[in-house]
């Protein structure tokens, strides 16, 4: 797949914030347990 910044990725409504040679940084929306949502940063490592 080809991706670019602002594409969505993953199961937690992850929006791509940064594309680098070694990682993809996402901002995810996850339930906070009391009916709301929290933003959480996540990163995917890219290795060959």
| pLDDT score of 1 | 82
Going by C-beta distance under 8 Å and a sequence separation of 6 or more, which residues neighbour residue 31?
37, 38
pTM attached to this predicted model:
0.82
- Give the per-residue pLDDT at 13: 92
CA separation for the pair 19, 29 (Å, rounded): 19
Which pLDDT tens digit goes with each residue over 4-38?
Answer: 999 999 999 999 999 999 999 999 999 999 999 99
Domain ranges of the chain: 8-45
Residue 43 CA to residue 34 CA, distance in Å, equals 25
Task: Return the pLDDT at 35.
Answer: 96
pLDDT of residue 40: 96
- Which secondary-structure segment (H or E) carries 32? none
Cα separation, 9 vs 22, in Å, equals: 17
Size of the chain, expressed as the number of residues it contains? 48
Q: How confident is the model at residue 48 (pLDDT cuts 50, 70, 90)?
A: confident
CATH class label, 8-45: mainly beta
């Amino acid at each position: 797949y080809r991706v670019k910044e602002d594409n969505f990725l993953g199961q937690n409504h992850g929006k791509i914030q940064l594309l680098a040679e070694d990682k993809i940084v996402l901002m995810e929306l996850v339930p906070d347990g009391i009916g709301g949502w929290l933003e959480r940063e996540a990163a995917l490592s890219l290795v060959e």
